[in-house]
Structure formats: C-alpha cells, structure tokens
Structure 1
Amino acid sequence: MVFGETVFAGEERVVVVDRTAPRVVSRAPEPGAQDVWVKSPIQAVFSEPVNASTVTSASVRLTVGGVEVARTVSLSGDGKTMTVVPGAGYAPSHPVQLILTEQLVDLAGNSLNIESRGWDWTIPFWIPWGTGDGALLSARDSDIKSHAFDAAGNLVATWSLYASNLHWLYVKRYESGEWKTYGQNHIAFSNQGSLHDNSLILDSAGNPIVAWTQPGSSGSSTVQVKRWTGTQWESLGEHVEVDASMPQKAHPHLEWAPSGQPAIAWSESEFTVANTVCAAEWATNNWSPLGNCFNARDTSNYVTNPVLKYTRSKVPTIAWVATGATENTIHVSQFLNNTWTVLDAEDHNIQVQEPYVSLAFGPTDQPILTWLAGTGSGNDCVATKNWFDSYWALLGTPQLPTAGTLTTMGPALETDSTGTPFVAWTSLVTLTPTDSRLRTSRWTGLSWESLDDASFTVEGRVLTNQHTLQRTSTGEMVLSWRHLILSEDRMRVRRLNR
C-alpha cells in the first residue's frame, strides 16, 4: 500500500480455491442388491458436506421400473448424509434407480463427482426370511414331512426315518446351521407302516405339538398327539377317536382353537365303508369332540385330507376331499349351533391324482377354497372359490397353466390379516431334466396379480416341490418350498416384501 511517499507491506495471504468434486463414499442399499426390503433405508454418505439447499427432489430422482416416484429428501446436520423416503409407487417387483444430478453441489459449488451420480437395486415380491433358508431336508433314509416357523423365523419339522424294517418319527429344530432333535430320541416308531401322515403346529413359545397316524395290525390305525413341554414329550390323551367301532383313524390336521388349546380334524373309517370326518378340541386332560362325526356325501367315498380352521368369529370350519373311482370332490362344513352344516350341495371336482384342498377366510370371514381343477385339455388349472351366503362363486378366472407346462401341482392358499388371498403352486415344465417353476399370485379385488420374480431362482434354476404358504403369529406371509439341485434337497424360505 502506498501512502504519500511511504510504502506499507501487508501480511501475505494464501487463497485456496476448492475445486474437488464431492463423492458418494457409502450407499444403502448396496449397488446391485437383489433382495432389498421395501422399507430398507435409502441413504448416501458424501465425502464432504454438501449444500443443503441443493438437496431436493429435483436433484435427487428415484425411479421404479423407469417411472419416477414421489420422494422426500433430507440432509443430516453435518451435511454429509442424505436420506430418501419414497412415496407411492415404490413397490415390488421392478428395478429401482437413484439418480443424483449435477444440481447437487458442495459448499464451494462443485457438482457431485460424475461416477457418484446413481446406482440401482431390486425390490422383489419375496425376500429371504428366518433361519431355515438353505436347511438340508434329507439325509440317508430320512426326510422331513410337516414343518412350521415360530415368530422369529426358526424352522421346526417332523422327520420320518426308515431303517431296519422300522419307521421312526422325530421332531427337529434347525439351529446354527444344523438340525437338533427335541428330546433324546424319537417320539414314535412302527413296524406296521410309515409315519408320514402327520401334522405339526407351534405354541406361542415355539414348542411343537405333533399329531400322526400310528399304524396297527390288520390295517387298523389310530391318531396320536404329543406336545413338547420344554423338557420332554407329553401325550395328549391315549389317542384321538370318536367312534371306537371305526378301526381306521387317519389324516390328522392340527389347528389352534380360539380357546388357545389345540384342535384336530381327522377321518374315521371301517376300511371301505362308513367314512366320516371328525373334529375335537383339547380340554385340559381329554379331547372333547365337536359334535358327531359326519360325511355330507356318499359314505362309500373315502374321506381324506380334512383341513380344520376357525373363522375370525370363532366358527370351526372343515374342508375335505371325498375320493371316488373316477373323480374326487371337495366339501365344506361349518359347526353352527352344535351341528356340522354343509355349505351348499355343490360338488367341486378335483384332480384324481392329487386329492388336496386349501382353506382360508376372506375379508368378511367367508370361506375360500383353492384346488386343482381339470381344464378339459389334459392339464389342470388352479381354481379358487369363495362362499357368498348361499353359494360358491369363482374368485376371478381360473389360473391356467403357462405355455409349455406339462402339469400343475399342489396349490396352497393363505390370506393375510386383511383377508386378501394368496396362492402358490408348482408348474412342471420338462421331464428330462425335471424342471419346475414355483408360481405365486395375489387377489387384487378384481383379478389375480402374479407375484413371480427372480427371488425364486437359486443358482440359476428353479426345481421345486412341497411348497407352503403360512401366516405367522406376527402377520408375516411366508412362502417355503423344497429346492432340489443335483442331489441336495434344501428348504427355501421367503416372506412377502411389504
């Protein structure tokens, strides 16, 4: 500075200009993630603070299946962590992309590094759940039959073993990557026949209750029930029966009664005649029958696979199959005024080779059925009907086999807490090699929406059988199936992504 004839020297100053572009150093979900929960946080962490005024829905774009969706964008107090909360439209099952535009700048006005301006992930309809996903399901001469999940997602299953001309029944829990047996030994054995015919439920503590058909001599059989107390197996009665003159008791199906005690449905027969369906509830120290055993159709037809469930208004309801020489038919009865009352006289024809039916309840507590019905073209479709006061009505059009399907197998039905029906089934595509596809769908109120996605694929192939749909005590919709790759038979478990 010059002042008159005097020169003053000021202190030297260094001005640093920030020309370094900010970068994204951490992302959630991870780029390319395939099994993202729809409620997982969406965040980006920057290498330096960014200008809060530039972090807006205009500079941060979110697309699902290429369509932009509503979102709310916020920035942490230190200016380094951005959070995106998606709105309507962020739902399975489409690819998701987050795009950060050049409008997003740091405190010096530098735009975001071009390599940090976006990433993508997938939110499938179904995501892995629980500890049982990947559990080995067979070993030597043993195999699992019935299974259930506790509220924490732990897998419990019955195991049937055949060795030295004897059949053995075990109950095991999958923990820390291995199966552990309840108790020191089996819960049943037989030298008269298999113990494959069994049913399993879990109490609120995750302890199992098991019912099974115990073969006897000369073709007779009984239904027996045991529960795990936490330390040992305890029999619930000597056996379950209503009519002692019926030598064959079979097809047990366990369910929880509204009282909090176990309930059971089963069939009784005198070999080839007088086949009936029975039900009972456990009452402190004995099984209390729900009315008389019944059969709403010709008693010469063999009754098989009864399914017992309770409506939300606590009405016991049973669906069962009457098998005949040329066709099988489905029937439903409800226990009203201490009497089993058949719902309509209509016969629902079902595939002869697979006499199974699934039962659930809709939004107004009406029974819903799903089964395999013939199409007249040599294949089968998945048919679903619900009860409207006095008649059965199709719920949408039957779900037909996809092109190339050889046969359709085992539809399973369950409803969520709102009464919305979900259906799963398997389509056999080729015989050599055996190749099948797991299919799922949800009723929208107007039609069936496919819930198939890549989450069913394991190691590039989908080979499935024995799938189930279950609603846990916490309301989770859980899909499970057996996945066979080469010689390994493993459990796959997914829950609905919502």
Structure 2
Amino acid sequence: MFQGETKDFQLSIVRTGGFAESVNISLLAAPAGVTAQPVSIAAGTTTATLRVAVSTNAEPGSRTLTVRAVSGSLHHDASIGLSVAKPGDLLVRWTAPGEAIRHVKGAMELEVTVEGGTAEAVELRSDEEVLVRLTAPPFTYSWDTTQVTEGEYHISAHAIRGTQVFSSFERTVIVDRTAPKVEARVPVQHDGNVSVRAILGVTFSEPLMSTTVTSSSVTLTAGGGVEIARFVSLSEDGRRLTLTPAAPLPAPSTMIVRLGTNGQPITDLAGNPLEVNDIWTFTVPAWLSLGSAIHAHPGATPTEDVVMKLDSTGRPIMVWTESDGTTKNVHVSQWNGATWTPMGSPLSALPATGTDASQPDILVTPLGQIIAAWSESTNTGVEKNIYVRAFKNGAWEPLPTLPLRGGSETYVSAPRLTALQSGAIQLSAEYFNGSNLEVRAFDLAPGASSWTALNVHTTAEQFSRRPTAVSSHGANSFTAVNSYFGSIERRAVVVLKNHAEQLGVRLLAGSENSSADHASIAINGEGAPLVAWNEVPASNVTQSKIYFTQWLWSSWASPVLVSSGSTSNTRPALAMGEDGRPVLAWSGFVSPEQVILVHRRTGDVWESIGAPLSARTGASTPGHSPSLAIGRDGRPIVAWTETDGTAPSIFVSQLNE
C-alpha cells in the first residue's frame, strides 16, 4: 500500500465442530501509521471486510500485520503481509496466488500488477531461477509445476525501472502430486472391541483441504446401511479428523466408515484425492472385553474362585486362586484401563508345598483400603485356617490372626468380608467342628490389634450352616446363610442382620422337593437386603432355577423366578446399581453351551441385558461362577471362569451401553 492509501481486505473464517457464534476481528498491536476499524462476522456467516489505512507518514517497507478473531473465550490469529511504499515508487502486488502459501499439483497461474508508475519489465522468479521476463502488462504466466520435482518453492515478482528494482512479497508454492494416506485410526481397522461411546479419529500423512471434509464426504453406517448422525471436525493442522457420533453407537453392530466418495472426494491441500475405496470397519459388541484370558502363570494352570470388586476409583480388582505347578496360591490383579496388573506378590501364608489356598474374598473399605482373605490347607488332616491381609504401599501386610483355628479334624474356611460405615471390618466364616458346619463371625474395629468374636443367631432345626454372601449398609451387616433344615429335610437360605437377628422366614421357593444352594446378597439405597439364590430339584439337577426376593421391612416378597430361559442354572451374583436397579448374573445352559446370563430389573420386570457371555465357542467350553460389580457409570462388569477344554481361564467384560 502507498502512504496515505486505504485498502479493503476480504477476510473469511472456517467454522468447525458446530461453532456458529459471532466473531469480532481486529488488528493486534498494529505498527505505527497503520490502522483498521474492528469488524464483526455475524453468527452463521463466514466473511467480512477489514479496511486498513496507511498514514502519509508511515515508514516505508515490509511488515506483518496480526489479525485476531475473538468469540467469547476463544481466539485465533492470522498474519497479513503489508508493504508500504512512498509515492513515486512502484508497488508490485500479487493477484495470483492471493494466499501466502499455495499447494499445487499441476499448472498454476501467476499474475502481478504494478502500481505507481510504469515498469520496463517484470521478472517472475522461483527462488533464484527466472521463470519468465515480461515487458508489458498483463504480467501473467502459467507455470507448469508437473515439470519440477515435488517440494517447496519460493516465488517472487520484481518490477524493473532503470536501475531500480521493486520487489513483491514472496509466495510459497508447495508442489505435491502425492495422494494423502491414512497413517493411523482409532479404533484400529477391524477392531472387535469398540465402545458405544467411542469418538473416532483418523491421522493422515499430510494436511487435508478442510472444505472437502464434511459430514457428506465422511459417512458412518451401521449394519444394514443405517446411517449414523455425526459431527466431523478437522484439527488446526489439517492432519487429524475427528468423527463424533451424535448418540451412542448401536450394539451389537458392525460399523463402516467411508472417507470420501466418488462425488465428494477428500483431498489434500493440492487437490490430490484420498483413495475412495478406503473403507474402515470395526465392531461394537454387546459386551466390552477387559483384556483377554487372564492367568497368573503361563500354560494350562486352572484358575478358580474368582471374586471381583471395585476400588475407590471405580477400577475393577480381582482375586482368585491358581496353582504354580506345586501349590495353589491367591492372586490379586487390578484393571488399569488397558490391562490387568498384579497387586503385590502371590498370597500364601504357609511356605510348604501342597498347602493349597481356596475360597478367597476381597474387600474395599469405605476409606479405600483393600483387604484380602482366604482359607489355606495346612496339609494336616482336614485342617484349614483363614488368613487376612491388607494392601499397603505396594505390598500385602498381615492383619491380626483370627481367634478361631482349625485342627486335624476341624477347619475354618470360606471367609466373607464386609465393612461398616464406621470402618470396622467384619468377617464371616464356615467352621467345621468335627461333626457339623457352623457360621462364625468376627469384627475388627479401626485401629484394633485383635478380632472380636460375634454372636451368630441359629435355631435348633438348622444344621450344616454355610455363609455364602455378606453385605452392609451404614451400621448394619447382612449375611446370607445356607442351612439344612431337619424339619423339611432340605436346604434353604436365611438372612441374618448383624449376625444376631434372622429376617423373616427361610427362603425356599420350589415345590419339587428342591434345595437352595448358593445365595448372593445386595442392599438397596434404603438399607433393605435383596437376595438371589439357586434351587436344585432332587429329581433333576439340570432343572435348577434362579430366584430373587427383597426384604419388605416385615417380610420377604414372594420369590420371583428369573431364569426362565435357561437350564442348569447356578451361582447367582447380585449387585445393586446407584440408579436403584438390581442386576443379576448367573451360569446357565443355553444350547449348545453353559454361558453367563445377565439380567437387570426395571420396576418389577427382569430383562436380559446384552447377549449371553461366552468367551469361547463350543459345548466343551462352559462358563461358570460369575462375579458381578456395577461401575460408577451404571454399567455392569462381569468376571467368570471358562475352560478351553484343558483348564479354566478368567474373563472379564463390561456392558457396552
């Protein structure tokens, strides 16, 4: 611009990510003698005119103006080259290319104008090479870039008048005849374990032309060709495309992403199109696998007795038993978001070989402390004892020894842990006194150096009693006990509150001379227990069923059959979600194999959620003994054991919703 001149600059913005607000534009720290009145680009529009004025005393020479666009807390800067000339000088302006950097793949038009007088000649140069010398307007030239190697070139125009040479700003031309390529995808091609909440991303080998990246040129469809609503955005450097579904993806489904179409190709800045046949597929399953088959040791080492809880951050923790080839020990692992990592060393209280551990349990206290308990054989008669450890500073530290010990003809086993709001830890156990099974219970107060034995309610007609599950709410604990009732010659479930009070009558739903087996317990938000158990008819064990009931403050609700669609049902695991809906998982037979089934109760109706869980296919790969937790986001997480025909492994999945 000449001193004393005013010039209009056409500005445009690119809106991304659904942004549609108004934008204010102004010069930032304008040099002396250069001014511009701020302008606004209205909501929904993309252009404005910025009028720049150069005073008569502005210093001649080249400088860079910074233009700032602001909307609320957002801002973005762009640069404009400005050359100030004094009257009498020649001013060389670029007409084409108009932008400072141009990407090309073929011929491009070069054009300049000369103002302020007449030039004897104009030279257009690429770096030091003269492309053409023009002696009369129009000063235009068609540069065939197909004849030069790919790369970056700096072009300039020079007006010659006598001995004087007046030069333009440089323009950068990037010659690019190479098509862009996909360098990375998230999720990866053919990923079979994608969340319904996934945000999709693609990284390219070079920047893309933003105007070619739209919701029309980037398509997302589910199985059957159903189009999924989506938001498409491109990073500032143009190399990363983000595809955000407008709603959770359908599950289960196979998703297809197409990057560009024949009618709307995606191109790089030079116009080279991305390969249109680049189809990206992945699977959104009903259940997300948390890792693959889980073992503590390589090889066919059977895993047993898996129990899963959530730590104070909501991450799953598992405890199980597994042999190292000579002795069965206790193992604890934690999910870190990508893999299962061991917590400390394997747990074993006795150093001798053959002292197998069994029936572990794990507890996360209200203060976030992690406690593990298990029973371990001494290799002397039937003797077993219970051991309890706390995880501190990356290692397992012993808690006080229980005051009840086994002998050659007695044992203490099957620990069940819970914690009260006060921080006290309570442990229920199965004690065989040489002739009968009893329930024993203990309390470890915060900071106490020893366990206190608790009185456990019983009746004369109950024999062979086993605690199968415990839970707590506030200051109250609840224990589900499986007992043999001599009066009916069958096993049933009773629930003890604080070990001293039996809630209502025994739980037994079947009328076919059936007996109750494993029970699970959970507590609702009001502090009332809910119980699920399986019943086994004496006449046909394959017809075992899963029942559910809840405490109505003075009696139990009528038991509800949950497992109407499966046979050989066993090992229910019950959990209560923060939304007030209980979830129930169990092992049941659905032809052709034993699988893990999961139901959720809404109102009074139990509904299946997700597909039956089976990590391996075939009748010889049964799934057993599920353990259930509900994440902070309300999604159930299930751990179970499943064999491959040689040894069972642990698998963990979370509902994909």
Relative to the length of structure 2, the TM-score reads: 0.58
Contact 1:465 1:482 in 2 (8 A): yes
CA contact (8 A) 1:69 1:86 kept: yes
Corresponding letter in the other structure for 1:342: Q
Equivalent of 2:601 in 419, 443, 462: 443
CA contact (8 A) 1:442 1:451 kept: no
Q: From the superposition, tell whether residues 215 and 384 of structure 1 become closer, same or farther in structure 2 (CA, over 3 Å).
A: farther
Aligned partner of residue 238 in structure 2, secondary structure? coil
Which residue of 1 is the match for residue 456 of structure 2?
293
Q: 1:483 aligns with which of 619, 642, 648?
A: 642
Aligned equivalent of 1:94, options 253, 256, 262 = 253
With over 3 angstroms needed to count, the CA separation of the structure-2 counterparts of 1:148 and 1:463, relative to structure 1, is same
Asked whether 1:45 is paired with 2:203, we answer yes
Q: Distance in 1 between matches of 2:368 and 2:293?
A: 18
Q: 1:343 aligns with which of 503, 518, 522?
A: 503
- 8 A Cα contact 2:357 2:374, kept in partner: no
Gaps of 5+ in 2: 1-134, 147-175
- Note if 1:264 corresponds to 2:427: yes
1:323 aligns with 2:484: yes
Instruction: State the alpha-carbon separation in 2 of the partners of residues 355 and 153 from structure 1.
Output: 27
CA, structure 1 residues 94+143, in 2 after alignment: closer, same or farther (shift >3 Å)?
closer
Instruction: Give the corresponding residue for 1:14.
Output: 143
Distance 1:457 1:139, change over 3 A: closer
Matches for 1:79-478 after TM superposition, within 5 Å: 79-100=238-259, 101=261, 102-103=263-264, 105-106=266-267, 113-116=275-278, 118-129=279-290, 133-136=294-297, 144-145=304-305, 147-148=307-308, 151=311, 156-159=319-322, 170-173=329-332, 182=345, 186-188=348-350, 196-201=358-363, 208-212=371-375, 223-227=386-390, 233-240=397-404, 249-267=412-430, 275-276=438-439, 278-283=441-446, 284-290=448-454, 292-295=455-458, 298-311=460-473, 313-324=474-485, 326-335=489-498, 340-345=500-505, 347-349=507-509, 355-373=517-535, 379-393=543-557, 398-402=562-566, 405=567, 407-428=568-589, 435-445=593-603, 446-452=605-611, 456-457=615-616, 462-470=621-629, 477-478=636-637
Q: How far apart are 1:34 and its partner, in Å?
A: 0.3
Larger RCO (CA under 8 A, 6+ residues apart):
1
* Structure 1 letter corresponding to 2:601: W
- Is the Cα–Cα contact under 8 Å of residues 372 and 382 in structure 1 kept in the other structure? yes
Query: Secondary structure at 2:142's aligned position in 1?
Result: coil
* CA separation of 1:129 and 1:149: change in aligned 2, threshold 3 A: farther
1:74 is aligned to 233
1:410 Cα deviation from its structure 2 partner: 1.7
Contact 1:138–1:489 (8 Å) recurs in 2: no
Mapped partners of 1:79, 1:51: distance in 2: 7
Report the number of matched residues.
Answer: 468
User: For residue 31 of structure 1, what is the amino acid of its counterpart?
Assistant: Q
Checking the alignment, whether the CA contact within 8 Å between 1:143 and 1:161 is kept in structure 2 is: no
SS across alignment from 2:504: coil
Identity of aligned residues (%): 20
Deviations along 1:230-262, whole A, 9 cap, x unmatched? 667535135249xxxxx7754321223333343
Partner amino acid, structure 2, of 1:320? V
2:300, 2:217 → 1: CA distance? 56
Partner deviation per Cα, 1:90-127 (whole Å, 9 max, x = no partner): 253322233445445446778764203x4221222332
The answer to whether the 8 A contact 1:274-1:299 is kept is no
**Which SS does the other structure have where 1:347 is aligned?**
coil
TM-aligned CA distance change 1:460 to 1:112, over 3 Å: farther
The answer to whether the 8 Å contact 1:157/1:200 transfers is no
Please give the root-mean-square deviation of Cα atoms over the aligned residues, in Å. Answer: 4.8
**C-alpha contact 1:237 1:285 (8 A) present in aligned 2:** no
Q: Which residue of 1 aligns with 2:80?
A: none
SS where residue 451 of structure 2 aligns? strand
Which whole-Å CA distance do the structure 1 matches of 2:453 and 2:639 have between them? 33
Secondary structure, counterpart of 2:277 in structure 1: helix
Q: Secondary structure at the match of 1:348?
A: coil
Describe the superposition over 1:142-187 as per-residue Cα deviations: whole angstroms up to 9, x where unpaired: 8654555775666544457897xxxx6643456999989848x940
The separation in 1 between residues aligned to 2:325 and 2:342, in whole angstroms, is 18
- Choose 1 or 2 for highest CA Rg: 2
- Higher mean Cα deviation, 392-401 or 453-462? 453-462
Maintained 8 Å contact 1:227/1:236: no
Q: Is the 8 A contact 2:508 2:515 kept in 1?
A: no
In the alignment, the residues of structure 2 paired with residue 394 and residue 170 of structure 1 have an alpha-carbon distance, to the nearest angstrom, of 41
TM-score, scaled relative to structure 1: 0.74
Once residues 484 and 344 of structure 1 are traced to their aligned partners in structure 2, the CA distance between those partners, rounded to angstroms, is 40
Alpha-carbon distance, 1:223 to partner: 4.8
Q: CA deviation at 1:33?
A: 0.8
Cα contact 1:171–1:186 (8 A) shared by 2: yes
Which segments of 5 or more consecutive residues in structure 1 lack a partner in the other structure? 1-6, 242-246
Structure 1 residues 57 and 323: alpha-carbon distance in aligned structure 2, compared to 1, 3 A threshold: farther
User: Is the 8 Å Cα contact of residues 129 and 153 (structure 1) preserved in structure 2?
Assistant: no
Quick one: which amino acid aligns to residue 341 of structure 1? E
Kept in 2, the 8 Å contact 1:426–1:438? The answer is yes
Aligned equivalents of 1:410, 1:276: Cα separation in 2: 20
Contact 2:372 2:390 in 1 (8 A): yes
